[in-house]
Amino acid sequence: MHFFKRKFRIRRNFFQKSEKKKKDEHYWKNGGVLLTDLITTFGPRYKIPIRHFSAEEIISATNGFREMVGISDSDGRMYSGFLEGRPILVKKCEGGDWILKCLIRSVTINSQMSHHKNVLKLLGCCLEFEHPALIYDFCGTDLLSDILHDESDCRRSLSWTSRLRIASEIASVIAYLHNAFPTPIIFRDIKPKNVIIDQHGVAKLFGFSLSISLPPGKLQVEDNVRGTFGYLDPAYLVSNIVTQKTDVYSFGVLLLQLLTGRKVWLVNQFWSSNIFEFLINIIVTAELDGLVDPRILGEGGGVEQMEQIQAYLHLALRCVLHDQEDRPFIVDVAKELRKIERYSHQLPPLGSTWNTICSLIKVVDPKTWPQLQSDPSVSSPTLICLTQPEILCCN
């Protein structure tokens, strides 16, 4: 009996030491990559206002990752938990080396943005798993995409005022990324699925894993195409060049979705990376009412609301113009949205709005998509479809 007890203790100690060694290896590997990314991005004077949690703490807080919530993307899933007397969200990830780079990037950027009221607050991370786990403050699980596209639940319907405020809040986050750091940081994945609406109706942006910094003194950087088809800047798709206007385009698509309540979808049997065909088809065959989400029109906001909508549409269309030079910078977009919110915006002439709409006809001809599909920087030949409207490209 003593022999078996001794053998059991030896085996148990062996596995405990082996497990500790593995955690230590993960910690130093992940920590080293994180430190390198922080120094590269922000220089030696960075601050890390987040904590490191042990694997045991996170496993215990999530009850063994039991309660998965409906928030996930290509690099991980979210779990709810309770840690130190507060509810949390934990992002647990699996995948190859590119997943590690995405996660480290998310920690790097998010740690410097957690003070912003419109960013999902990152409390800390755990480096003891094979890939870092990210621990967020729990503020709800209502994604903007779910609220916008769930027509069956009128309780979650967003008023026009709420949509304007959400647009303004997300614009302020992107403007901060572009202007508050030594070099602009481009988010590259602006979409409704990366926005949580908390219990007070406040928009919280998350998912910084595809963000990229522009080189010092440069206005652009070349990188493989990354983001979600349907929100990707056509110029970026064909050139691999990232600029501040890359985010402006994606934000413009988000603005249009807030206005129309529609998903990015397939039109006229062509693969498309935009919703211009829908917009042009509606505008040339119907009044402005045909473009606006019926739930907004049902509010009966009157002349003031329709004038706000016209100014908003004009701004959104400028953001998605095909030529980057013709798009405004995000800081100017944020200012315009605040003016529209206060109803102090000078209404653009109908003619100028129509000219902006007509200029959208210059978008990439759908017949050119086969050429794009053969581009090795695009991981999938499928761009957009009705059943799978958002495909993440992270090669």
pLDDT band at 74 (very low <50, low <70, confident <90, very high): low
Which CATH number covers residue 223? 1.10.510.10
Domain identity same for 158 and 107: no
Tokens of 128: 């003891």
Last residue of a domain, one of 111, 137, 163: 137
Q: Mark whether 116 and 239 lie in a shared domain.
A: no
Mean pLDDT of the chain: 76
Residue type, 391: I
Stronger pLDDT, 278 or 388, i.e. the higher one: 278
Q: Does 161 share its domain with 123?
A: no
Which of 93, 109, 137 is where one domain is finished? 137
122 with 184, same domain? no
| Per-residue pLDDT, 138 | 94
In angstroms, how far is CA 172 from the centroid of its own chain?
A: 14
- Asked whether residue 224 falls in the same domain as residue 366, the answer is yes
d(CA 310, CA 185): 31
Q: Are residues 242 and 390 in the same domain?
A: yes
Question: How many separate domains does the chain show?
Answer: 2
Q: What is the pLDDT of residues 179-204, one digit of tens each?
A: 998 899 999 999 999 999 999 999 99
- Work out the number of other CB atoms within 10 angstroms of the CB of residue 49: 12
The pLDDT value given to residue 382: 26
pTM: predicted TM-score of the whole model, two decimal places: 0.79
Cβ-based burial of 164 (10 A; exposed 0-12, middle 13-18, buried ≥19): buried
User: Given 83, 115, 137, which residue is the final one in a domain?
Assistant: 137
Q: Which residues are catalytic?
A: 189
Give me the domain span that covers residue 389: 144-394
Q: Are 317 and 360 in contact (CB under 8 A)?
A: yes
- What pLDDT was estimated at residue 103? 80
Same domain, 96 and 44: yes
- pLDDT greater than 90 at residue 393: no
